[in-house]
Amino acid sequence: MRLSELAQQLGGHVAEAHRHLEVVGVSTLEKGAKGDLTFLANASYRDGVMKTQATAVITSAAMLGDLRPPPELGLVMHEQPYLAWAKALNLLVPPTQPTPGVHDTAVIHPSAQIDSSASVGPYVVVGEGARIDEGVVLDVGVVVDSEAHIGAHAYLAPYCVVRSGCIVGARCQLEPHCVIGVRGFGYATDAQGQHHAVPQVGVAILEEEVEMGSHIAVDRGAVTETRLGRGTKMGNQSAIGHNAVTGNHCLMVGHNALAGSSSIGNHVILAGKAGVAGHIHVGDQTTVMAYSAVTRPIDGNQVIRGVPARDARDVALEQKALKQLPALLERIQTLEEKLMEEKP
């Protein structure tokens, strides 16, 4: 693809001298070769622009700063280079389009509704009354239980499970071994200390364009629903408790946990291994830094960290003060010794 065409499709700009250059593949700055397109979206890698053998780089003026790349290197300039890179990947490395139809080994209940454009792979099981909409891809070994609904153009990777009555919205992407609608963790303890399971009769709902890494469990609601808001993205090995709710376009980077009946607002970010305790709400636009535990309600538009999580600036001040403790203790000890010496 010529850079002139690429820049037009990305909404970027390329210098006249480079418009004729062609790219046929993608790579990193370090490993780029002739014909490759790469990108610079992190200033830490600026030096790579001077050394790369790639044909062209997607970047921005802010990223380049005062750097002067080799004159032969094509520059596709874009205000959001990482977003442009994502779009370029779809153009240069388009995803494989599966063939519509139902594999011979799939087990489909007679009452299930499967759109003719859907692709149902080997050993898939679709239960009674389930609905599979247009363009859906169910990869190897997927299970869609009774009365579950998979929205248009959703993709379920191998061995995903959607339990009875649960909903996966349009254009959702689930990586292997995700389970939607796990029995929620609810137990009543009797006078003898024995634990009795409380039936979980609600559902789990993924709104449109939710994306999940592998090995994610979403509990069904105890009575009503567990819900993940539109456009929410989740990394690997996370757990969503019963009746938990996320707003729209949240990011959960990985190894995260939302305990039962917790909720987070719109555009909330949970960094790696961050978690939210039960019945707690985190407000819109809040970032919870890695390894943090939210144990009290948090207003919106904050950056919090620590255990328990609190304002990240306060934590930084506390840590700075802790580093000074040894010196302070030494000073106190010296003062005490002087006082003892001065006693009559």
Could you say which of 153, 177, 242, 255 is catalytic? 242
Q: What are phi and psi of 182, to 5 degrees?
A: -60, 150
Calpha distance 252→238 (Å, rounded): 8
Calpha distance 254→245 (Å, rounded): 17
Closest among 26, 25, 3, 29 to 16, alpha carbons compared = 3
Closest among 216, 270, 219, 276 to 243, alpha carbons compared = 219
20 counts as catalytic? no
202 touches 242 (CB < 8 A):
yes
What 3-state DSSP class applies to 190? coil
Please, what sign has the CA dihedral across residues 121, 113, 206, 183?
negative
166 touches 147 (CB < 8 A):
no
Closest among 215, 189, 219 to 206, alpha carbons compared = 219
Catalytically active residues are 242
